[in-house]
Amino acid sequence: MSAHPDVTTAKVPLPTGPLRALALSRQQLDRAGERRGGQELLERLWASPATRVLQVHAGRAPVVPTRRGLELVLRSPVEVPAPGPDDLRLYLGTDGTLDYVAVVSSDAEPESADGSAGGEEWRGLREVGAELGARDAGLFTEALSMGNWHAVTRFSPRTGKALTATAAGWVKTEPDGKEHFPRTDAAVIMAVVAPDDRLLLGHQPVWPENRYSVLAGFVEPGECFEDTVRREAFEEAGIVVGADADDVVYLGSQPWPFPASLMVGFAARATTTDIRVDGDEIALARWFTREELAEEVAAGRVLPPPEVSIARRLIEAWFGGPLPVPAGGEWA
């Protein structure tokens, strides 16, 4: 790795944590893992009037507008069609008064028979995660994460035999009793800051033309988070991050169930500024001052990541507040 460090007299300050308002990191329920031991829990809860069911179909859940904002439509079990043989029933947790169960299906969402659903719409977590309250954001994130894991964990990697959901949906079990537990892929996401306090943002080839975000990448086996930050910054953009302990600073984390990641957020101090993108994961990359970023975002020439993402919070931590995103610009 060859690079030419820029000469500075003092290290630029990095954003400090913890990050606030991480939409998908909110959790108000007790997941009550000690109750998951047997499938009889689900049968008992299905017969209880104190149970509320979240339906998830093809990654979407029903939401309805209220005076407090969007809320999930949570039904009693008697209001929910019987789950199909390929549907997942999953215990989500309790708030001390009510218990919550998800039914996750790969099928498209059902249509209202008469069109009178009281404003109910089926929406994805990317769309509504930032608008839901803490309880509902946590429920949707948990159900979607587990549903995605079940969808790709259908057969034993040892024998090829079909697996059965056990422990109230939290384990997959082989015929001989061998258990398989949910997996989450750790990934770092980082606000890389230049010696002159500019922020590095990159553009992936699969994104809309004007979408820019911070860099990110998966942790490799045997690698710590801080080293992943340094490796990914160099691999994706040719930028060298400082080797000192305070050159990579943890800011917060957020589950990202698209399909199964935990995004671990950092601020990182670059020692070089010459950009050399890999052309694969990152097609373009730019350094921005705060004034440049504000002007480009306000004009619609740069579309930042959506409110639901930790990427947005990392950018705003460096920026010093909310970005001036034009109305209707979130999902262009």
Rounded Cα distance between 319 and 325, Å, is 13
φ and ψ of 224, to 5 deg: -85, 165
Rounded Cα distance between 165 and 168, Å, is 7
Helix ranges (DSSP H) in the chain? 40-46, 125-128, 134-152, 225-237, 290-298, 310-319
Contacts with 319 (C-beta within 8 Å, 6 or more apart), sequence order: 199, 290, 293, 294
Q: What is the pTM assigned to this prediction?
A: 0.92
Residue 332 pLDDT level (bands cut at 50, 70, 90): very low
Q: State pLDDT tens for residues 100-152.
A: 999 999 999 887 544 445 789 999 999 999 999 999 999 999 999 999 999 99
C-alpha distances in Å from residue 152, one per residue of 3, 12, 149, 282: 42, 44, 6, 27
Q: State pLDDT tens for residues 245-260.
A: 999 999 999 999 999 9
For residues 104 and 95, the answer to whether their CB atoms sit within 8 Å is no
Residue closest to 210 by CA, chosen among 147, 270, 297: 297
Q: State pLDDT tens for residues 2-50.
A: 445 554 568 999 999 999 889 999 989 999 999 998 779 999 999 999 9
Rounded Cα distance between 62 and 57, Å, is 9
Residue closest to 72 by CA, chosen among 138, 147, 169, 24: 138
pLDDT score recorded for residue 179: 96
Percentage of the chain beyond pLDDT 90 is 88
